[in-house]
Amino acid sequence: MLTTHRFDGTISESTLTSPIQPLWYGGKVPPQQLVHYFNDRFENEHLPGYRPFIVENGLVSGIFGPFRISSAFSPIRHASNHEVLAGHIAQVTVTPDDNYLQQTQSFPSGTLLTDVIARPADFQSIISLDRLNRTVHMLNYLSLSHLGGALFLDVDPRHVLGVEQNHGAYFEEIILKCGLLTKNITISLPINSFYALHHEQLLHGLNNYRQHGYQIALNIGSLFTAPGLQSLIDRASPDYLRIKAPDNKSNDFSPETWLKAVKTLQQNQSTHNGQIVLEQVVDKKQVNWVDLAKVNLVQGKYYDKLETDHLRCL
């Protein structure tokens, strides 16, 4: 029997009451059976008639208000051999749910979750969107899961703060139904100056996720000097730190300052066998930063283009 979760005054994740049998073990396209299952579940947990998931051309989307939300996956590669994948970062693809508007925009999940929710205190709406978002990603990821590595999924910090206990149990049910394992999922928490100060609440949530078998990533972008950040990193001991490659057009950091900050992060990560992912590497100049910092994991259009060019030459 599967425990469902309904929103009430006190929000917590649902728990597993018996072993969950996966609905899907392999194949190229998520079957309609999975979409029907999660539509039934969301309708049961929210409102009659609320069936947000649709499949078109093998791609799953979720309807949230005026938006249609789907997935794009950006590969994480080994810097020493860009043909070897270490995982994928799930990104949200958003289009208006309107037949007359065709333009598509792609955002990191954290940006969407920050921009779409107008009221920061509306934790129930944030949690609803976060859960829908991750369900869409899991369904679309099934066709890539055979490639192995970790799937990085952003979780809004307000979701972590809004759920009081047992973080990750609700999503674990979705993962197991898809025939996957939590150990292959990395919960990625975007951090800014405000959330870096909320250690206790965030650590409580991250520890809950760990207890369910997830890996943990902190996405700090270009934020190296925020008050409380280093303490949060030390206490969270993340499996991954996600940092943004320096923009060569920006004067935010000198090479010396940036390298010093990254070296400090690398030393801290090495104490608990954590790794750093250098993201948004788009040109050759930024690759020099990768070489100087000796970062092992990279992501960005530069490496994707290298791989595409390589395949064209085969």
Helix H or strand E segment including 62:
strand 59-64
What's the pLDDT score for residue 198?
Answer: 76
> What is the extent of the structural domain holding 37?
32-312
- CATH number for the domain that contains residue 300: 3.20.20.450
What's the pLDDT score for residue 159?
Answer: 83
289 in a structural domain? yes
13 in a structural domain? no
172 in a structural domain? yes
Helices 123-141, 109-116: crossing angle, 10 deg rounding = 150
**Is pLDDT above 50 for 215?**
yes
**Alpha-carbon gap, residue 150 to 216, rounded angstroms:** 11
Output the CA–CA distances (angstroms, integers) from residue 218 to 107, 120, 121, 193, 263, in the order listed: 18, 21, 22, 13, 17
47 in a structural domain? yes
- Give the range among 47-56, 108-117, 298-307 with minimum mean pLDDT: 108-117
pLDDT in tens, 109-131: 444 444 443 444 455 677 788 88
124 in a structural domain? yes
Three-class SS state of 36? helix
State pTM to two decimals.
0.81
Radius of gyration of the chain (CA): 20
Number of domains in the chain: 1
**Alpha-carbon gap, residue 18 to 21, rounded angstroms:** 9
pLDDT bin (cut points 50, 70, 90) of residue 106 is: very low
- Strands (E) located in 132-262: 150-154, 185-190, 215-221, 240-244
